[in-house]
Structure 1
Amino acid sequence: MKDFQELLAEARKCRPKRAAIAVAQDGGVLAAARECYEMGIAESVLVGDAAEISRIARERKIDISNFEVINEVEPEDAVRRAVQLVREDKADILVKGAIKSPVYLKGILDKNTGLRVGRGLSHVTVFEAKAYNRLMLMTDAGLNIMPTLEQKIVMVKNAVCVARSLKIPQPKVAVISGQELVNPDMPSTIDAAILSKMAERGQIKDCIIDGPLSLDLALSKEAALAKGVVSPVAGQADILVLPNIDAANVLYKSIGFLAGANIIGLIVGAKVPATLPSRADSHETKMASIAMAVLFASKEEEKLQLSPSAAHGETMKIAARS
């Protein structure tokens, strides 16, 4: 896919999903929810301060008459109620509204009342790479602070699942470090080399991994040629795996503010995909976030339908944790 317009078009082909919007008193989120409803992508349950939701909708001339509104004035309570809707199978995706990310993530990650189902969780970013005329992915700018090797394996697998839902059948994964040579004094280079070898041996499937790679090598064939680096990923990366949240967040903000790219983010690995947009994002970007969550949820549903035993196992796991 080249851009978010193609992503929206693909999401429209899916069965509509039900979105639980946590702290829905946000003009951009309400506009995004309305447009997704009109496009047949998703219907929404608006959880938050009902009076404030109505006021904002009235001021912005956004019709919310087709949506259920659940009054929860306190943000923490609104997140808890939205998460509960998902746990009770009354919503297919979770959407972040006018709430700070730590409060939202706390509701998702709560061991007793959250959305963990035994898989590792990670943040996957999708952005429009205009210079490359395609969508690209990055992980992890929002959840895993200083990921271990085990967490990086989860990050790669989750990102590959998202990439495959975007019709990238065998994504090329660049594990980013400060240099392209393995250096015992730089742990990120060692992790990158291990991940690369694991993919080569079939321990991580459905993708091609190479690393360590510096960012220029991941993005530029010319840089690889100039440095004499031979790699099946160099200059062709679909997924960028950053060594820690600092590096990932700096790249995330740079892509958005310096390159002017549109960016969406998902929390992947929970019971359902959860959007993680910036509160400053446009309603168009928030709409693309909802569409990405719908598309990913649909593809995961298809995988379970193709594997009845897996579906049964997942149902049992979810039931055991509910």
Structure 2
Amino acid sequence: MTTTSPDAIVSAAPPGPAAFLLRNRIFDEIAVGDSASIERTLTAQDIRLFAVLAGDAHPQHMGAGDVASAGMHGVIAQGMWGGALISAVLGTRLPGPGTVYLGQTLRFLQPVHVGDRLTIAVTVSGRDEERKQLTLACTCVNQHGQMVIDGEARVLAPTVRIERTATALPEMRADAGGDGLPRLLAHVRPLGAIRVAVVHPCDALSLGGALDARAAGIIEPVLIGPAAKIRATAEAARLDITGIAIEDVPHSHAAAARAAEMAGLGQVEALMKGSLHTDELMSAVLDARAGLRTRRRLSHCFLMQTPHYPRPFIITDAAINIAPTLEEKADIIRNAIELAHAIGVEQPKVAILAAVETVSPRMPATLDAAALCKMADRGQIAGGVLDGPLAFDNAVSAAAARVKGIDSPVAGQADVLVVPDLESGNMLAKQLEYLGEAATAGIVLGARVPIMLTSRADARDTRLASCAIGALLAHRWRRTPP
């Protein structure tokens, strides 16, 4: 038996746009027993791209809902993803370019999970000299030596030598979850609109965001700020505020105080930040006279969805707590778990981030992570599964975790990312938003009402999504007050 090595088929080419030369093997050069193989690690992006091409958005593949965690124990690949890799071996390795696929049988024996590394091999088991056809046994074996796919392929082998450059494939991306906001609104709208104090909506974006949420049927806004300025903003932006209640106060500080007072009295069920600084609003919420404080520390959660990760996730805290202590981080995690429960994640996986995945006394974030995990073990933090310290790559990539030898129920599938401090969290969230095409919503938890907290630069979709999350929490807290 001879073995076809990759070097026999893919050789270096001169520098330039194409880095490799593909060379086939013609029928007369191939004997029974010849084989070739490739290796490939399954990533979440592979699953999303295959779903785009096949139109297969089943929850087991996309990581949505309870189905993903039932039966198959996590997000799994579409069966034909492995079949496509067999095709890749035939078309690039054995026989290579010029091969014509005639038929394929496959048996799917084991699920393939994100992070699994497959060895995909084909071995010639039969030759038809007259028709120049080959029969090949096909196998896919995971990193544990388990057969996940086997089968048989029939091909028409090339009879003419073909050499061609292996040009790079065009970049492909899955949709950035563009249906996420409509689905969220469709879920929240039947619950009914909640009354929301919109604090100092004196620019077009914040005022327009409140009106969008009203039009979507999820909030009934009360505009709090200088009435003349609010009306002038509406007129300049051609926004209709007819019939909407306005609480006339002289400036942004007074608007924040009045909004907090109304929330404390139960006159509104949520607060929405307008065109004022975050610290102005938070100072009013924390004022003991407002009656909005709970035993929990206030913290901010970014709920994000990006095309490069199979499900929505939470980043916290990236807007309120600058350098949180261990005790404050515990509350930050409790708040994030509560948000995860509200959006339907029954047992969120919480990754406590640091620069490395090992505990080091020289890196306080790693010590905090270890202590927080022990607190969870002792029941001081409940409702989720915690692990840390985890570097960012290990938290979101099962393949990266596997390479580093990390065996963790959280690694590669985190629902919550707990950052060491505000600066790192804010930069991470903004990078994902501006460079990673993430859709975002911002919410503050830990008070007696949810607070929709967005940046003054945020788009109207972000404000609308934040209102929807706030409304979801408000309805939940009617049954179980924070």
Name the TM-score, length of structure 2 as normaliser. Answer: 0.61
Pairing of 1:78-227 with structure 2 (within 5 A): 78-113=255-290, 115-227=292-404
2:182 and 2:357 map into 1 onto residues whose CA distance is 35
1:246 aligns with 2:434: no
1:138 and 1:4 map into 2 onto residues whose CA distance is 18
Deviations 1:218-244 (A, max 9, x none): 010010111111110011000000111
Alpha-carbon contact 2:206-2:456 (below 8 Å) kept: no
2:257 and 2:450 map into 1 onto residues whose CA distance is 16
SS at match of 1:134: coil
Pairing of 1:1-40 with structure 2 (within 5 A): 3-40=180-217
What is the one-letter code of the residue matched to 1:65? Answer: T
1:77 aligns with 2:254: yes
Deviations 1:278-306 (A, max 9, x none): 001111211111111111111222335xx
SS at match of 1:94: strand
> How big is the shift at 1:114?
6.0
Alpha-carbon contact 1:170-1:206 (below 8 Å) kept: yes
Q: Which runs of 5+ in 1 are unaligned?
A: 305-313, 315-322
1:114 and 1:76 map into 2 onto residues whose CA distance is 17
Alpha-carbon contact 1:173-1:207 (below 8 Å) kept: yes
Alpha-carbon contact 1:4-1:128 (below 8 Å) kept: no
Alpha-carbon contact 2:307-2:437 (below 8 Å) kept: no
Tell me the matched-pair count. 305
Alpha-carbon contact 1:107-1:114 (below 8 Å) kept: no
1:39 and 1:253 map into 2 onto residues whose CA distance is 26
> How big is the shift at 1:62?
2.0
- Percent identity over the alignment is 38
Q: In the alignment, which residue of structure 2 is the partner of 1:299? A: 476
SS at match of 1:12: helix
Q: In the alignment, which residue of structure 1 is the partner of 2:153? A: none
Q: 289-298 vs 253-262, which deviates more?
A: 253-262
Alpha-carbon contact 2:395-2:410 (below 8 Å) kept: yes
Alpha-carbon contact 2:306-2:436 (below 8 Å) kept: no
> How big is the shift at 1:61?
2.6
Deviations 1:41-86 (A, max 9, x none): 1100001121121122223232211310111131111111111111
SS at match of 1:19: strand
Q: Which runs of 5+ in 2 are unaligned?
A: 1-63, 65-176
What is the one-letter code of the residue matched to 1:205? Answer: A
What is the one-letter code of the residue matched to 1:91? Answer: V
1:235 aligns with 2:412: yes
What is the one-letter code of the residue matched to 2:461? Answer: E
Alpha-carbon contact 2:315-2:418 (below 8 Å) kept: yes
2:445 and 2:188 map into 1 onto residues whose CA distance is 17
1:9 and 1:186 map into 2 onto residues whose CA distance is 45
1:282 and 1:25 map into 2 onto residues whose CA distance is 15
What is the one-letter code of the residue matched to 1:281? Answer: D
1:117 and 1:167 map into 2 onto residues whose CA distance is 24
Higher RCO structure (Cα 8 Å, ≥6 apart): 1
Pairing of 1:272-287 with structure 2 (within 5 A): 272-287=449-464
Name the TM-score, length of structure 1 as normaliser. Answer: 0.90
Higher helix proportion (structure 1 or 2): 1
> How big is the shift at 1:183?
1.0
2:188 and 2:449 map into 1 onto residues whose CA distance is 16
